[in-house]
Amino acid sequence: MNISLKGKTALVGGSSKGIGEAIARQLAESGASVTLMARNEGKMKSIIKEMDTSSGQEHQFLVVDFSNFEIFKKTISSFFKHNDVDILVNNTQGPSAGGALEKSIEDYQQAFDLLFKSVVLTTELALKHMQKKKWGRIINVASISVKEPLNYLALSNSIRAAVVTWSKSLAYDIAQEDITANSVLTGYFDTDRIAQLNTKKAEKMGVTPEEVRSTMEEQVPMKRIGKPEEYGYLVAFLASDKAAYITGTNIPIDGGLLKSL
């Protein structure tokens, strides 16, 4: 099966590293013109130089600060005054780790702005073009913790669950316009985020980060951590015409880690 996104434009959040970068590279390899969106301008410039342009794509980047919603709102609104996208990948950095009793109301508000408000706003802006064209793909990078909460990620558990249920509602409203909305539930992947979380867990447990990672790998039925490029393959498929009848879903990519249905 050949995945072709030739002639399509994509906007990928959090794409200066990790899963977001892998998604952006795979969409470009599949023929899309990609706009990277993240904080690190230098890193995005470097990535663009390496991205596939064999189908005549024109890649660009957008510097944003997801952690400041008012500034983000101005930046993303300005972008959509001059740009349209066919494929939107909603992805941001994760909020700080910690249990439910460790977080304040202010922490939850900040996480809501970061994970929910930014996603809804960006999607609303992107939808205008998709609805005119009667074609579009909205893909949310979520987490397996929305199905089986991780006690050390209270903020992420709570707000990402809101994103997933909102996306399900949205999918119903836009289905007849050939626009799909799906969420990918992320398991353990080899990223800086996982390394940072493992370091904090190791400090609390009095063990090494390597021991934490080893335990994590043992929990996964495949006995390994996922590769970011494997994530990119799934998103490229969901972004293509091959996935036209898939919408309103929550798709785990976790090596079989989730135990629930």
Residue from 133, 41, 146 nearest 87 by CA: 133
- Give, for 12, the enclosing helix (H) or strand (E): strand 9-13
Burial 219-242 (b: 16+ CB within 10 A, else e): ebeeeebbebeebbbbbbbbbbee
Contact between 23 and 233 under an 8 Å Cβ cutoff? The reply is no
Q: Which sequence positions are flagged as catalytic?
A: 152
How far apart CA 256 and CA 259 sit, in angstroms, is 8
Contact between 34 and 57 under an 8 Å Cβ cutoff? The reply is yes
The two tokens of residue 45 are: 């410039």
Q: How far is CA 121 from CA 116, 202, 259, in A?
A: 9, 36, 33
Three-state DSSP at 9 gives strand
How far apart CA 14 and CA 183 sit, in angstroms, is 16
